Structures are given as C-alpha cells and as structure tokens.
Amino acid sequence: MTMLQRRARRWGKGGAAALILLCLAQPLRSSTRPAAPAPTDEKLAIFKAWLEREHPGYGCDEGPAEFVNQTVAAAYPGRRFYYVLTHARGIAPPFPHSLSLVAYVSVEGEVRPFDVAKVATYRPALIPVKKAREARLAAAAVLILALGDPGEKRWRIDPDQVTAKKGRTGWVCTYQHGTATYESIVTFDKEGSLTAFSCHAPPVP
C-alpha cells in the first residue's frame, strides 16, 4: 500500500478527495520554476544562426563546434565556448570570406565573440588570480582562446610552461613559442583581474 493510499484510508472519503485535488494541483505550482539553461546543442544552433546572419557566406576549416579544451575549461569554470577556425597556411586564405573566431552564448541566447583588441571580452568567468599556479592557468587559457584553436595543433600552451612573476602592480606572465624571439605576455592587476595580453606566435612557414 502506498503512502497516498494509507493517508486516503485514514482520512476517509472526504480526505481522499481533498488529497486527489492536492495532487492534481502540484504540476501547476512546479510550472512556475525558472526555465533551465539552454542545452549545449541549442546554444550551438544559436551560434550557427548568428554566424549566418553576421558573417554571410563565411568559410572555415573547423566548426561551427564547441570549443573543447581542458585548460580553458579549468580557467573558465562552467562556461562553454563555440568556434570556427580557418587554418593559417602562409598563403592566400582558401575561402573568399574565411573566418576564425571564438564566442560565448549567454543564457539569454546572446552571442558574445571574443575580440583580441578588447581585453574586457576575455574577463567574464575567468578565475581570479591570487597565486602563481592560477596566473599560469589563466594566462594559458587566454592565449589558447586568442589563438582560436582548441586542439592546439600549432602550439600547445602548457600552463606549467608559462612563467608567472608577481610585481608591485600585479602579475606578469610570459610564454615563449619555441624561442625568446616569439614571446606572448599576459598581465593581471593586484586584484587578479586580466589587464592586457599580447599573443606573439611565429608566422606559418
């Protein structure tokens, strides 16, 4: 005998009827709960529609797809990014309107692309930097996003290979792409917020 059946027997016919009405009313109350965030595939569809609208006729080698990278996921916990990527070949682009970009899709369905000329676009959801380990991780993630390649096929940026030094104004992180000639720099202020970065990778041969 279920709990509802036991209560109905104890309360009698009138109580059973009231209990049935109470059960029927339950879905009405639960329907007022806030809507769940859009699933990943829905956000990808939003990203694809945005690309078609904002960059009609674009071409790319990879994507549109989710930007899956372990370092980026650790530095931006809870965030999912999406991307398209055209491979650099050292020659003319293979598409008339080749495109490479990374973007975030908000809960409201707004597409917010990263812009290397606007450091503020890289700040939301990035972990605050308090220790050297966090500085190395955050710096590596920013550079990976700036390069736009989740598979890191040209350059694998290992957080352990990033040099992090704390100074009077905050953190300065450097990463050498093979030699000191090509060095990328990422800086954070005393509060641990991203302030600037420059991505200086070698050209494609």
The CB density around residue 183, as the number of other CB atoms within 10 Å, is 15
Q: Which range marks the domain in which residue 164 is found?
A: 40-198
Name the token pair of 130: 């308090």
Report the alpha-carbon distance of residue 139 to residue 129 in Å, rounded: 10
What's residue 91's pLDDT? 73
**Residue 196 reports pLDDT greater than 90:** yes
What's residue 96's pLDDT? 80
Does residue 192 lie within any of the structural domains? yes
Residue 39's pLDDT band, with cuts at 50, 70 and 90, is low
Can you name the residues that pair with 194 across neighbouring β-strands?
188
State how far the alpha carbon of 120 is from the alpha carbons of 86, 126, 146, 164, 181, in Å. 24, 11, 13, 21, 27
Report the alpha-carbon distance of residue 109 to residue 43 in Å, rounded: 7
Does residue 19 lie within any of the structural domains? no
Does residue 34 lie within any of the structural domains? no
Peptide bond into 113 cis (omega under 30): no
Its sign, for the CA torsion 131, 132, 133, 137, is positive
This prediction's pTM: 0.78
Does residue 11 lie within any of the structural domains? no
Does residue 9 lie within any of the structural domains? no
- Number of compact structural domains in the chain: 1
Contacts of 169 (CB under 8 A, 6+ apart): 189, 190
Does residue 151 lie within any of the structural domains? yes
Note the pLDDT tens digit of each residue in 122-174: 999 999 999 999 999 999 999 999 999 999 998 889 999 999 999 999 999 99
30-60 as b/e, with b when 16 or more CB fall inside 10 Å? Answer: eeeeeeeebeeeebbebbeebbeeeeeebeb
Does residue 4 lie within any of the structural domains? no
Note the pLDDT tens digit of each residue in 108-120: 999 999 999 999 9
Backbone dihedral angles phi then psi of residue 163, each to the nearest 5 degrees: -90, 125
Its sign, for the CA torsion 155, 160, 165, 171, is positive
Does residue 113 lie within any of the structural domains? yes
Report the alpha-carbon distance of residue 124 to residue 142 in Å, rounded: 12
